[in-house]
Each structure stands twice: as structure tokens, then as C-alpha cells.
Structure 1
């Protein structure tokens, strides 16, 4: 056991004994999420850095949690491989541990799966300062509960991630991006129709323009013959590869002009609506601009005031979805609103409580990160 890992274990043990909260932090690139009020003494994980093992022929990489995400992606790219779910960076310094803890996926998520689908195993320190390992380096390695995937999206509230094993994939041999001018209803109709055909759909986004019109971008990835055939059958304008790649990266990291426009409306927060892909155009509150649509219709980004939250959640519920507060300005008081929707099922709430008690009995990990009470 190296000194960096030993120091973190000792730090967790000391905090548990003192019942002193810890704020687990890698690159800090997701501190904005939900305008969370980060509490506790900072526990820096960036010393846990480095690629432990990468087996290109086995499509597996084992990485320490504090490793910069860009470093891992560069190492994979050198072997023609990638993280197909396109984890967002948001800013320089994003780490592999933060990627897993946040569980956020990029534009290709609807086609290739989420972060949790690529986590094979991990190592963590629980609230008793025990170093535990779950899963392994192959897909069929779990009997019983898949604890590794349980940590994806837990935002560090169940333990300190120290090492992660990930499934990686080869970079597809061909890629193309098509552009269509259309309104949101037409965009959703096209995406649903294409989804029922054997097309190499990989990612999509629709952005609104003036007069209710907008632009739909669709990215194709796969075999050369499949991508070329899809371009011929789908129509639209085929974009320059470099320009298209820049646009998708900006979409991944929320650097598109659509996201930047929120700076002109400081009273607006960014809401994330997760709905069925087949859901129609949503009836948003009056005065709210058209959303940015991703994941073939399953993800709708909306910029609206905090007081529109109840209406947005009701709208999402009406089509079988949910709404969460993704970004709020520091001036906004989000305590009453909550970042995530309350757990309405008693049995599910009990499971959450028992998991918390099992992994972090003293409640020292990232209090407040998931909202009131956590």
C-alpha cells in the first residue's frame, strides 16, 4: 500500500472517530452541480493518480481515481480505443473518480449506454476506513449485488473511490454528422422513425432558433459501409468532420452558445428533464425558451427560474419522466426546491437509508451533496 492511499485511509479513520464531515474532491469540475453547498474538510484524491493497467487486447483499463480523465482518454486513443459514453469534462482537471461518482454521460449515452455499463470493478474506502474491492476486470464477475455500479452516481456519499476498472471500446471506423433544419416536433418525429431502422445512430441534438424553428444534428458511427449508406438514405447536410467534432465536444461539456445564453439571465437555472425518447414536445411554462434536446429525445435541457421547478417536474411526470436541478447560480437558495426529486416510495427510501448506514455509518462523506439530509 503506497503512502498516498495510506494517508487517505488514516484521514477517513480520524474523521469517523471525530464524526467530522469530509468533502471528497478530485478536480472540482462538478462542484457547480445543483448549487450544492459543499460541507466538511476537503479530502483531495488527486494524489491517487496513474493508469494501473491497460490491456488493449482485452478492452480493459484499471485506473486510480485521481487520474485526470484527459490522461486516460489520451492513453486509450493511442491504441485506437475510447470511453464510448463520452464523459463530460466541463473544465480542465476532471478525474476518473469524479466521472464515476457523478455518473454523467455525454451525447452518445442513448446509443452506447451510461457510465455504469462500463464499470467492471472498483476499490473504495468506506466510512469505517476499510479498503474494499468489488467486481473485477471482466464482465461476468458478479454474484449477488453489483456494488461497483451502485457507486456510479452516488456523488461520493458512500465512500472514497480509489481505483476503477473500466471496459473500453475501439474507436468506430467511420463517423459522419448530418444537419437538418426543422422544428422540435419534426426533429422528434425523425428521430423516432430513424430509431426503428437499422441505422448507425450514435448521438443527436436539437437547438431552437427564431420563430420556433431550429437545427437538428445527428451523428452516425459504425462500419464505413453502414455510415455511407445512412448518409444517402437520411438526407440532410453532411458537415465537415473537424467542425462537427468541435460541436459535439462543446455539447458534451455544455460549452454551446445555447448553454452560455444563461449568463444573460442570472435568474434562470439549468434543469435536466429525463423523459421517454418517444415523449412529445413538452408544454413548458410561459416565458421559458425551447429546450436543447439530446439522446434522441430522452434528455431535455431547460433554462428556467427556480420557481418554475414545480411546473417542470409536473410536466416531466405527465410523460413518465423526472426533472432535476442541474445548475443554479450561487445567489439562488435551492434548499426548499431540492436538486433531486424526493423518494416517494417508502421501500426505496429504506433501501437508501440502509445503504447509507452500511457504507458510511457516521455520515461523514460529502454531506449535502445529494440534497437536504445528504
Structure 2
């Protein structure tokens, strides 16, 4: 691998963290900055991890890949694709420079999430620069640190509030042998009923999204099982680019100028009368919503359905407020790993 795509900058990153600790200044951890719209605005000096990049090790027979946090997701996916493998959680990215570290820090998964698992499920180990000025390795055979935390998986969805990710080891899987996308003319209410029914049957669905008019499905597996499912369900063939556009939020739905919300809901949640335009993803477990409604109203509706709502635009409180007990746990965890509070302070919540 050439020097242009592989560079160990961990010593420089550690020096920057040590300097910040000594001077007691906040750091804004940044990779490709493709998730800058998500979370609260963070003060402090930029700690850019993009120079710390490259695949450290990859043996396709072991189904494990290890790479530095600044490695572009496009580069990682290209290496996996060449070996006929993939990140099963299908993390969203486009040509925006998204990095491996940002993928783990944001913890966002794509259309395959309900059937394959989340980013957190595939994190095996990490290297992290902590708020104690130490560069430590977590995961692998030693899954917990002395405080009892599974630090590697805690980093998923932490938005950089707990430390600086420098390296990640991920479990990967072979790509499906056959894939077919189809579209069915069916309304959303009936689509949700059918998806709940199909979820109890051996139908190889790996993505399901309803746009208000049509149900889009992706069938993946052996050629015979995919063909049998298509024969049973019917539907018109659909270009596979639909899922890439959905994952990268390039569909026409996302061009609506209203605020973008993401509702995370229990599996097989039925129809919801939400104020605005909605896109039903994850077979009903995720709803994208374009709405002018206030946060209190939307979060109350999400909570009533057993879920929570996140605003995909910077604001005072983009994430669902935590219950007091959960907030105390989050604050205790922050104190353990970042006692001076220098890493992305307030990115998730003002109190952290």
C-alpha cells in the first residue's frame, strides 16, 4: 500500500491531545466532516484524524479487517469488495469523504440494519487515545477494561465524546451470492402488515422501504431462494442504486426544505400519523420525516410509539433527552474516560 493511502499519525495525534490536556482546551474531533450536521455545535480546536489512515491488516479468510480511523470508507469498501466481502451494517456514505472513525463514532447503519445488525455489533476492537493522555487498545480477547466497560462497543455512537478513535477492527461477511430489488404497488398500511407477516417466514429480505406509494424490497441470498421469493411476491424489478441513494439521502424525499427527523421505533411498528412527509425504512422500525413540527411534539409521538426522535440538523437538542438515571450513567462514563471533558464537549448533550 502506497504512502499516500497509509500513514500512522498516532504519535502526532497523541501529542495534540497531551497539549490540549496541559492547556485545558477542548478538542473538536473531525474526520471527513460528513456528519457535521448531526449533533450540537462543538467548540474547541479541530483535531483532524484524516492523516491517520490505511488498512493495517486484512485476511479475508478470517473475516476481520483492521484499519486506522482516518481511512476513507470508500477505500475500506473497495478492499472488501475486491475480496467478495462487505460491512454487513451497510454504513451510510457517499462521495463525502466519510471515514472509518466517523462511521463508528456516529453509529449509523443502512437499509440492511434490521436483518444484519448495527455498527456496534461488528466492532471487535479499537485503539483509543483517552482523556488521560494514554493510547490504549481495547477489544479482541480482552473485551473489558478495569472499570468493567466494553470500551470498543461504547465508542459506537459516542460521537467522539469518550476519546479519539485511532484504529478499529471489524467483523465482515461475504457478500450475498445473488441480489434482486423489486417494487410493489401497495399502500403503506398494507405494506407494514405484509412486512410483519413476511418477517415470520423464510423470505430473504435484506431491505424494505415504503415511499408513500410503493414498497421497495431487496431480496438477497442463494439464486434459488431469491427467485422463489420473487415468484411469490411479484413486483417489478428495481435498480439497485435505489438503496445507495436512500442510504446517502439522495432520494427526492430528502430535498424537501423542512427539517429532517429520524424516528427509531420498535420492530413492526404500524402506521403513524406524523405531521409532515415520511419515508418508512427498516420495515417500519425507522421513519424519516420532513416536518415543521416542534421537537416536543415529535418526540412525544415517538415516545408514545416506544421509540425516540433525532433531528438531523444542528440545534440545541438534536438528540432525544435522556432520562435522569441514564444521564447520570453517561456522565459517569465521560468522567472515567475523559475526566477533563476535552473531547467533543456537548456534542451529544449539553451536560456531557
Give 3-state SS (helix, strand or coil) of 1:162's partner.
strand
1:358 aligns with 2:336: yes
1:5 aligns with 2:10: yes
State which of 183, 195, 200 in structure 2 corresponds to 1:196: 200
Give 3-state SS (helix, strand or coil) of 2:193's partner.
helix
CA offset at residue 141 of structure 1?
A: 5.3
The residue that corresponds to 1:95 in the other structure is 99
Cα distance in 1 for partners of 2:185, 2:9 equals: 53
Cα deviations by residue, 1:195-247 (Å, 9 ceiling, x for unpaired) = 11111110011112xxxxx01100011111111111111122223xxxx2211
Name the CA shift for 1:145/1:367 in 2 (closer, same or farther; >3 Å): closer
Structure 1 unaligned residues grouped into runs of 5+: 209-213, 329-333
Cα deviations by residue, 1:318-357 (Å, 9 ceiling, x for unpaired) = 11111111225xxxxx32xx111221142x2221111100
* CA RMSD, 1 decimal: 1.5
The residue that corresponds to 1:281 in the other structure is 271
Any conservation in 2 of the 1:120–1:148 contact (CA below 8 Å)?
yes
The residue that corresponds to 1:331 in the other structure is none
Give 3-state SS (helix, strand or coil) of 2:9's partner.
helix
The residue that corresponds to 1:258 in the other structure is 253
Cα distance in 2 for partners of 1:91, 1:310 equals: 34
Name the CA shift for 1:280/1:258 in 2 (closer, same or farther; >3 Å): same
State which of 312, 320, 324 in structure 2 corresponds to 1:341: 320
TM-score (norm 2): 0.94
Cα deviations by residue, 1:274-333 (Å, 9 ceiling, x for unpaired) = 111222211223xx22x101111100011112x4221111111111111111225xxxxx
Cα distance in 1 for partners of 2:94, 2:28 equals: 20
1:25-44 equivalent positions in 2, closer than 5 A = 25-34=30-39, 36-44=40-48
The residue that corresponds to 1:228 in the other structure is 227
Give 3-state SS (helix, strand or coil) of 2:323's partner.
coil
The residue that corresponds to 2:188 in the other structure is 184
1:124 aligns with 2:128: yes
CA offset at residue 90 of structure 1?
A: 4.3
Name the CA shift for 1:174/1:141 in 2 (closer, same or farther; >3 Å): farther
Any conservation in 1 of the 2:180–2:240 contact (CA below 8 Å)?
no
Cα deviations by residue, 1:26-57 (Å, 9 ceiling, x for unpaired) = 111111114x3131101110111110000100
Give 3-state SS (helix, strand or coil) of 2:143's partner.
coil
Cα deviations by residue, 1:253-273 (Å, 9 ceiling, x for unpaired) = 00111111x2xx3xx211111
Give 3-state SS (helix, strand or coil) of 1:203's partner.
strand
Cα distance in 2 for partners of 1:372, 1:187 equals: 39
Name the CA shift for 1:368/1:142 in 2 (closer, same or farther; >3 Å): closer
CA offset at residue 368 of structure 1?
A: 2.5
Cα distance in 2 for partners of 1:145, 1:364 equals: 20
Any conservation in 1 of the 2:8–2:52 contact (CA below 8 Å)?
no
Any conservation in 2 of the 1:29–1:91 contact (CA below 8 Å)?
no
Cα distance in 2 for partners of 1:18, 1:216 equals: 55
Give 3-state SS (helix, strand or coil) of 1:296's partner.
helix
Count of residues in correspondence between the two structures: 343
Give 3-state SS (helix, strand or coil) of 1:327's partner.
coil
